Each structure stands twice: as structure tokens, then as C-alpha cells.
Amino acid sequence: MKSQCHRNIKKFSFPHRMVEKWNELSDEVVAAHNVHNFKEKLDMWRYGDRTL
């Protein structure tokens, strides 16, 4: 949940900018079991299958 920002230092902070991006992720990506699995699923979500 994003809070109201009264100062630029909070408005441009990393956690505040990432809330919307995190909420856009699919449940499959968010429910990854470990970091490596999360990164693989995130790449597939962002870029799709680039193998031709």
C-alpha cells in the first residue's frame, strides 16, 4: 500500500516506487520458492520466451 508523500525524499525512494510494479506481477512470480526461481520467472514475465 502506498502512503501519502509529503517530501521528495520519500516519493522517490526505492520501496515507494516499487509498490505498483510488485502489484502488477503475476501470482506465479510472487510465489516463487527461492531467489533463483523468482529471477527466472520474473525474466519470463518481463521478456517472454526469447528462444527461437
**What pLDDT was estimated at residue 19?**
79
Quickly count: other Cβ atoms within 10 Å of residue 32's Cβ.
15
* 1-52 pLDDT, tens digit each: 656 656 666 666 677 677 788 888 999 999 999 999 999 999 998 888 775 5
**What pLDDT was estimated at residue 35?**
95
**What pLDDT was estimated at residue 46?**
87
**What pLDDT was estimated at residue 21?**
83
How many Cα atoms sit within 13 Å of 7 on the Cβ side? 3
